Amino acid sequence: MESIGQRIRNLREMKNMTQTELSQSLGMKTYTTVSKWESDDNFPKGRDLKKLSELFGVSSDYLLGLNTNKNVTSIETIYNQLEKPRQTKVYNFAERQLEEQNRKVVPLFGTTAANPTELSYGDINMEDTIEINVPKKAECALVVKGDSMEPEYQNGDIVFYKSQPAVENGEMAIVEIDGDGVTLKKVYYNYDDDKVVLRSLNGKYEDRELEPERVRILGKVVK
């Protein structure tokens, strides 16, 4: 099996470099260190090992004899050899790829009313989905209908939620009323009067108080 020194010498010769030229590329004043590496009297460590990997386009594992494939080159090694404008292009492309990989798809369940006296529940079609800017914890989505949750949610906005049967006092939720439809509201609990309070964000609408048995929490709104 090749030693570290033999690998360095072979890689140097493949690039038609002398020991002096390699030393200069590594920022060294003389070829002495490179000569000692190639004769296995010493071996590169840390920063020098990284520089050699980048210069020869191989992994550190290959130089150390941990990987027999000299063509294995890390993405970081390739990136570091690129000029700045090309690094920017590679970074932007990789970032877009990561976004696509992590893109989440959730079902779009029709509409949810955002008016105190109106309810809606669009036709549930599992083939209707949304995948743009989906929050990490989101499981479902609805289209907001009405203006009672303005300014946070406008008519036509998408609201995402996580399915759960209860929310904390003051949290925003998708709420089913009397089994007839759903609405988007902030939920409060009036324990003294045993009421569930559904509150709009738009100040022109008053709170709606309902008996607990008339209200079913479908999920908590997430962003």
Mean pLDDT to the nearest integer, 206-213: 93
Question: Tell me, what CATH number does 16's domain have?
Answer: 1.10.260.40
What pLDDT, on a 0 to 100 scale, did the predictor assign at position 124? 40
What pLDDT, on a 0 to 100 scale, did the predictor assign at position 80? 74
CA-CA-CA-CA torsion sign (82, 85, 86, 90): positive
Question: Across the chain, what does the average pLDDT equal?
Answer: 83
pLDDT at 22 over 60: yes
Both 95 and 111 in one domain: the answer is no
Asked if residue 109 lies in contact with residue 124, where contact means CB atoms within 8 angstroms, the answer is: yes
Tens digits of per-residue pLDDT, 30-87? Answer: 999 999 999 999 989 888 988 998 888 888 888 887 766 655 556 766 777 788 888 8
Both 211 and 110 in one domain: the answer is yes
The total number of structural domains in the chain stands at 2
List 189's β-bridge partners, or say none: 196
What pLDDT, on a 0 to 100 scale, did the predictor assign at position 123? 40
Angstrom distance (rounded) from CA 7 to CA 219: 61
Both 79 and 140 in one domain: the answer is no
Angstrom distance (rounded) from CA 124 to CA 181: 12
Asked if residue 174 lies in contact with residue 218, where contact means CB atoms within 8 angstroms, the answer is: yes
Tens digits of per-residue pLDDT, 125-141? Answer: 444 565 567 888 888 88
- Residue at a domain's end among 49, 77, 99: 99
Judged on CB neighbours under 10 Å (0-12, 13-18, 19+), 90 is: middle
Both 141 and 179 in one domain: the answer is yes
pLDDT at 109 over 70: no
Asked if residue 185 lies in contact with residue 125, where contact means CB atoms within 8 angstroms, the answer is: no
Both 156 and 50 in one domain: the answer is no
b/e for 35-56, b at 16 or more Cβ within 10 A?
Answer: bebbeeeebbeeebebebbbbb
Both 65 and 110 in one domain: the answer is no
Mean pLDDT to the nearest integer, 148-166: 90
Which range marks the domain in which residue 160 is found?
Answer: 106-222
Both 127 and 52 in one domain: the answer is no
3 state SS of 8: helix
- Residue at a domain's end among 32, 66, 99: 99
Both 149 and 65 in one domain: the answer is no
Both 87 and 138 in one domain: the answer is no
Mean pLDDT to the nearest integer, 208-218: 93
- Residue at a domain's end among 99, 119, 136: 99
Look at the chain and count its residues: 223
Both 78 and 180 in one domain: the answer is no
Both 207 and 165 in one domain: the answer is yes
Both 130 and 161 in one domain: the answer is yes
pLDDT classification of 114: cutoffs 50, 70, 90? low
Question: Tell me, what CATH number does 137's domain have?
Answer: 2.10.109.10
